[in-house]
Amino acid sequence: MSTEALIRKQNRDGGWPYVAGGSWTEPTVLAILALESAGETAPAERGVAWLRSLVRSDGGWPPRREVDQSSWVTALVTLLGPEQIGAAAHRRAIAWLLDTTGEETTVLFRFREWLLGNDTPVSDPRFPAWPWLPGTAAWVGPTSIAILALDKENRRQPAAAIRRRIDAGRQFLLSRACDEGGWNHGAPAPLGYPAPPYPETTGMALAALRGIQAPQVDRGLTAAERFLAECRSADALNWLRFGLRVHGRLPAGYCTPSGVIYRTVPETSLDLVMTAAEQGNDRIWG
């Protein structure tokens, strides 16, 4: 899908669907980033206007207008920066991210587990991370996106509270690394049975662990390089490129293999964003 096709996919309300139909927050944010990296500001501005109309009273964003709950997509929206979504809205979104943790590390849940005699914590409470939806557990995907968002904000306006959440989130990711290298969406060994890593979540986690040196990162990079050579999923390749590039491990002049099909707005958008970043125009880090 080209930039022109991406523009044609824009809904009348200014947002984008995942493939067809109504507008969703995630594809809209990614389409905006992609079109801005291509210099297409008019459709991007309409997308921003749609996003601004969606903000909820708690400062977060829902996955789409009809859903009356803020979710992980709030982190994606903050990547657009205060100049676009508005300084107050951006500030409140960052606050929402700082206030959101996986349910399993909340005081109430831990107290309840203690009352029930469950001694083994689900997650290390020192390392709260991020869920898909508040009231549920933390996972690799939303945690990685939240770290990207907070890291960008911390570089713009450093704050100790933001730094603490980034550091804790990264410790969460390191604790979730698969023994063989890489990350799947959650625990490396659910119910004691080792689970294999996924290419897309490996890429996400590596992107969030930018600048971190650790054995888990080394093994993750080795896994990512293997996935990059084998994978034909557009979504996975996008994230692998991101994760490898920020660690200086994306092969110079890398081109996605022929035959990779970009089926969704996020897949196309992220490809455009990654390509621009690899050419020095990084819309995510700024």
Partner 1 sequence: MSAGGVLLAGCKNGGSPAAPAAPPRVSIVRAPAYDQSLYDTMRRILASHGLDVRGRSVVLKPNLVEYEAATSINTHPLVVHAAYEAFMAAGAASVRIAEGPGHRRNTLDLAEAAGYFQVIPKFEDLFVDLNLDDVTRVRPKGRFSRISKLYLPNTVLGAGLLVSMPKMKTHHLVGATLSMKNLFGTVPGGVYGWPKNALHWAGINECVADLQTIYPRKFAIVDGIVGMEGNGPIQGVPKPVGLVVTGEDPVAVDATCCRIMRIDPFQIGYLGLAAADISEIAEQGIVQTGESIASVATPFALIPLFKGLRMA
Residue 246-265 contact track with partner 1, rule CB under 8 A, x = bound = ---------------x-xx-
Q: Is 157 in the site for partner 1 (CB under 8 A)?
A: no
**What is the distance between the alpha carbons of residues 246 and 240, in angstroms, rounded to a whole number?**
10
**What is the distance between the alpha carbons of residues 263 and 174, in angstroms, rounded to a whole number?**
31
Q: Is 222 in the site for partner 1 (CB under 8 A)?
A: no
Residue 198, SS3 per DSSP: strand
Place of tokens 């969030």: 208
How is residue 69 written in tokens?
């709950």
Residue 204, SS3 per DSSP: helix
Name the minimum Å distance from CB 67 to partner 1.
6
How is residue 214 written in tokens?
């650790």
**Which one among 52, 56, 110, 185 touches partner 1, defined by CB under 8 A?**
185
**Which one among 13, 45, 58, 103 touches partner 1, defined by CB under 8 A?**
103
Q: Is 18 in the site for partner 1 (CB under 8 A)?
A: yes
Q: Is 170 in the site for partner 1 (CB under 8 A)?
A: no
Radius of gyration for the chain, computed over Cα atoms and rounded to the nearest angstrom: 19
Select the span of 38-46, 139-147, 154-162, 212-220 touching partner 1 (CB under 8 A). Answer: 139-147
Residue 63-92 contact track with partner 1, rule CB under 8 A, x = bound = xx-xx---xx--------------------
Residue closer to partner 1 (CB basis): 96 or 139: 139
What residues form DSSP beta bridges with 16?
Answer: 24
**Which one among 15, 43, 142, 243 touches partner 1, defined by CB under 8 A?**
142
Select the span of 50-58, 164-172, 192-200, 249-257 touching partner 1 (CB under 8 A). Answer: 192-200
Q: Is 200 in the site for partner 1 (CB under 8 A)?
A: yes
Name the minimum Å distance from CB 66 to partner 1.
6
Per-residue burial over 123-159, b if 16 or more Cβ lie within 10 Å, else e, is: bebebbbbbbebeebbbbbbbbbbbbbbbbbbeeeee
Residue 275, SS3 per DSSP: helix
**What is the distance between the alpha carbons of residues 23 and 123, in angstroms, rounded to a whole number?**
34
Q: Is 17 in the site for partner 1 (CB under 8 A)?
A: yes
Q: Is 193 in the site for partner 1 (CB under 8 A)?
A: yes
